[in-house]
DNA sequence: CTGTTAGCGCCTTCAA
DNA sequence: TTGAAGGCGCTAACAG
């Protein structure tokens, strides 16, 4: 418990006066840096505690030429509205918060609406953060490439592209798509559809991987259904699709949320999952196993992804080199297929 | 497109040299404050744009005695791990990000592990943010009360308590619980259970409201089942509960996520929802209508909540008065009941 | 071991 | 309309 005295202590100058020492002594005592008499240090630390004083981080950072914060940006290039509510992004955000906190960084959250080609450089030049993590490259890979060429501490969660100059961490989406295809084939499904927005590079890769693992006859008949990642939009897309008379026996959804929307729509049409229709999702969000039926899905290791994003970023911040990482997805078979 | 010249422009001092004016002139030009010749202003603004220069926000804020950021804290007093992945909190976070951005504030996200009684004051004294929004009072109402007594820009999302000194925005949880009870009664349910962690004040209020709207005979038989807010924990709690032989005909879950866990567990026991068992949740997260069967739930208006939190905070920041707000929940009847 | 001094990049009075 | 100077709160040489 801190008992607050009459005289407000707002700066190390105030504290120095009370302690009868110079500001630099107070600074040294409170930062535990630099040589200082042990007793002096403890005396000042106790005084600070008694007065409830803490060093002003903003000023400290200005002096040190850093901000102590890392930005996490969610570009909404193609999806408006509830993008941020996607459970996958949310879980990612939670883990990022943990990882960054562990390394002493604040997490500055920002939803950006990419306009023109200067939004990222402009954000960076404002000097609010020491580094930037972008969740999902959206349709902004040109912007990312340009910025990455002159700004090191930048890491992107998303699909790896050999042509991209920027640093990415992500799942091997092609492999994930192939996993889904192989599984549906093993279930005897041949009349297939893919639900997702393929203008998002990650989803496009899932789709390509899906196609690539299919025999020619099945591949040629795959139907591509455009669906945004919100539950509502996915549900609507599936409802329209079924209403138009389509009756596939296997659906690969670009995300778990989309898969749940598809299943909800199928239930309304009395299509039984998995008897008549196998559905497989992507992500393995926590709710996937609670869905009814529990969702078969391609799992991404979010926690590991977050840890890697932060690690690579810190390497770059320390001036070290870092390379893109892509890890293997894993098929989780439950009851929707 | 900005073409970057040879000489790096890192501060208004650099720009002032290039422009052949003083730093104060550059400052005035770039902040659009203070009197300045129109042409001079435009000339300097163009020069800045050409060199890709933006004012350093950190330094600007230090000088102005503010930080330009608002902290959103998620105290994890009782729930570890995946708390942050609760879709309700996530949606709230998204809306808060929007609202704050609109008013020119950055959003500093922080998960805190409340230890002792000084965590909040200590955070505030670090001076990283201009104000604090806390999502969920957890079990920290004593700490909040103490801090609120001397720190104005503090708003909490959560249950309103007449005894609490701090500013809250939240749903009338008692009323929500009553809504759930009345609905289950109308469905002819009499053998009832509540799933949730009643050491969380919000959930306790939902439980109290639930009980209060029940006739004595039904109320006395209500079973209270402890369940954390993660899908997995809720599922496990329900599985154990059913395995112990309990067969209620109506369950009120403290959150939608918990309700989904309950439904998943019930499905495994071949208990049919809603034929044999009515389940009702709380929140109305986007996925609630995609659940199978679509979830009956007590809706909270998250967007409005976020808008109010930010509005009240800004009032306090401006030195104006602000009072706690509690709004009415709404019953959304779908097919799980 | 401790104090003095000079800024980090910016804004704002006060003068001119 | 513009410039000079002081300082926001802090750290890090450089002295002593």
Q: A27: domain CATH number? A: 1.10.260
| A80 and A180 housed in the same domain | no
For residue A1, name the pLDDT band (cuts at 50, 70, 90): very low
Q: Is residue B6 in a domain?
A: no
Confirm whether A129 is domain-assigned: yes
Task: Please report how the helices A87-102 and B87-102 are oriented relative to each other, as an axis angle in degrees rounded to 10.
Answer: 80
List the nucleotides on chain C closer than 7 A to a protein CB.
1-5, 7-13
Q: Are residues B88 and B197 in the same domain?
A: no
DSSP letter at B160 equals -
Q: Kindly state the DSSP code that residue B295 receives in the 8-state scheme.
A: P
**Chain A: closest CA distance from residue B162 (Å):** 26
For the purposes of burial, counting CB atoms within 10 Å of the CB of A188, is it exposed (0-12), middle (13-18) or buried (19 or more)? exposed
Q: Is the CB of B13 under 7 A from strand C?
A: yes
* The two three-digit tokens of residue B329, written as one number: 């929940």
Q: Look at residue B5 and tell me if it is in a domain.
A: no
Q: Does A129 touch chain B (CB under 8 A)?
A: no
Nearest CA in chain A to B303: A82
- Alpha carbon of B125: minimum distance to chain A alpha carbons (Å): 6
Nucleotide nearest the Cα atom of B62 (by C1'): D8
Q: What is the mean pLDDT of residues A87-101?
A: 88
pLDDT tens, position by position, A16-34 = 999 999 999 999 999 988 8
Q: Check residue B82 and give its pLDDT.
A: 45
Q: Are strands A330-332 and B106-112 parallel, antiparallel or unpaired?
A: unpaired
Task: Verify that A49 and A134 share a domain, yes or no.
Answer: no
**Cα gap A41→A37, rounded to integer Å:** 6
pLDDT at A82: 46
pTM of the model: 0.91
Q: What is the pLDDT of residues A241-256, one digit of tens each?
A: 999 999 999 999 999 9
Residue A2 domain-assigned?
A: no
Which domain covers residue B205, as residue numbers? 173-299
Q: Which pLDDT tens digit goes with each residue over A263-283?
A: 999 999 999 999 999 999 999
CA distances from B142 to A37, B39, B145 (A): 38, 57, 5
- Kindly state whether residues B159 and B210 are assigned to the same domain: no
Give the total number of structural domains in chain B.
Answer: 3
Q: What's the CA–C1' distance between A2 and D11, in Å?
A: 27
Q: Which two tokens stand for residue A237?
A: 């897309």
Is B155 inside a domain boundary?
A: yes
Pair (B197, B223) in one structural domain? yes
Interchain pair B84, A93: CB under 8 A? yes
Query: Which of the nucleotides lies closest to B9 (Cα–C1')?
Result: C9
The mean pLDDT value of chain A amounts to 92
**Distance CA B326 to C1' D14 in A:** 60
Q: Which residues of B274-302 are buried (b: 16+ CB within 10 A; e: fewer)?
A: beebbbbbbbbbbbbbbbbbbbbbbbbeb
CATH value at residue A162: 3.40.50.2300
Same-domain check for residues B213 and B143: no
Residues 6+ apart with CB under 8 A from A223: A192, A193, A194, A246, A248
Within this chain, do residues A43 and A106 fall inside the same structural domain, yes or no?
Answer: no
On whether both A288 and A178 belong to a single domain, the answer is yes
Question: A114-170 pLDDT, tens per residue?
Answer: 888 889 998 999 999 999 999 988 888 899 999 999 999 999 999 888 889 999 999
B234 Cβ nearer than 7 Å to chain C strand: no
Residues A287 and A312 in one domain: no
Tens digit of each residue's pLDDT, chain B (337 residues): 445 556 789 999 999 999 999 999 999 999 988 889 999 999 999 999 999 999 999 999 999 999 999 999 988 754 554 455 678 888 898 899 989 998 989 999 987 878 888 889 989 999 999 999 999 888 888 999 999 999 999 999 998 888 889 999 999 999 999 999 999 999 999 999 999 999 888 999 999 999 999 999 999 999 999 998 888 999 999 999 999 999 999 999 999 999 999 999 999 999 999 999 999 999 999 889 989 899 999 999 999 999 999 999 999 999 999 999 999 999 999 999 9
CB of B59 within 8 Å of any CB in chain A? yes
User: Are A179 and A286 in the same domain?
Assistant: yes
**Cα–Cα distances in angstroms (integers) from residue A138 to residues A56, A230, B113, in the given order:** 37, 15, 34
Asked whether residue A5 is assigned to any structural domain, the reply reads no
Q: Are residues A200 and A266 in the same domain?
A: yes
Residue A131 lies in a domain: yes
In a domain, A260, yes or no: yes
Please count the CA atoms within 13 angstroms of the CA of A80 that sit on its side-chain side. Answer: 0
- B308 lies in the same domain as B162: yes
In this prediction, residue A150 carries a pLDDT of 92
Q: Of B185, B253, B254, which Cα lies nearest the Cα of B213?
A: B185
């Amino acid at each position: 418990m801190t008992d607050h005295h009459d005289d407000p202590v707002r700066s190390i100058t105030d504290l120095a006066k009370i302690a009868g020492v110079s500001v630099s002594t107070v600074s040294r005592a409170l930062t535990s840096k630099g040589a200082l008499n042990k007793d002096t240090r403890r005396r000042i630390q106790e005084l600070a505690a008694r007065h409830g004083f803490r060093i002003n981080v903003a000023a400290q950072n200005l002096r040190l030429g850093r901000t102590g914060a890392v930005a996490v940006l969610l570009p909404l290039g193609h999806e408006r509205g509830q993008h941020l509510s996607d459970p996958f992004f949310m879980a990612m955000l939670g883990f990022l918060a943990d990882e960054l906190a562990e390394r002493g960084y604040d997490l500055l959250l920002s939803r950006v609406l990419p306009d023109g080609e200067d939004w990222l450089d402009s954000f960076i030049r404002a000097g609010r953060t020491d580094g930037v993590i972008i969740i999902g490259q959206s349709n902004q890979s040109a912007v990312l490439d340009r910025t990455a060429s002159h700004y090191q501490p930048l890491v992107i969660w998303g699909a790896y592209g050999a042509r991209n100059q920027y640093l990415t961490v992500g799942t091997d989406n092609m492999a994930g798509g192939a996993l889904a295809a192989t599984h549906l084939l093993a279930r005897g499904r041949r009349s297939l559809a893919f639900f997702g927005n393929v203008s998002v590079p990650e989803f496009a890769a899932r789709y390509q991987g899906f196609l690539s693992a299919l025999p020619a006859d099945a591949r040629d008949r795959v139907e591509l259904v455009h669906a945004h990642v919100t539950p509502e939009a996915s549900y609507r897309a599936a409802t329209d699709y079924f209403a138009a008379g389509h009756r596939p026996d296997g659906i690969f959804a670009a995300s778990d949320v989309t898969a749940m929307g598809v299943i909800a729509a199928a239930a309304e049409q009395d299509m039984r999952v998995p008897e008549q229709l196998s559905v497989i999702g992507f992500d393995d969000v926590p709710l996937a196993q609670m869905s009814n039926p529990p969702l078969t899905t391609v799992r991404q290791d979010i926690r590991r992804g977050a840890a890697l994003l932060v690690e690579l970023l810190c390497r770059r911040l320390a001036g070290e080199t870092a390379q893109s990482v892509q890890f293997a997805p894993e098929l989780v078979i439950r009851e929707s297929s």
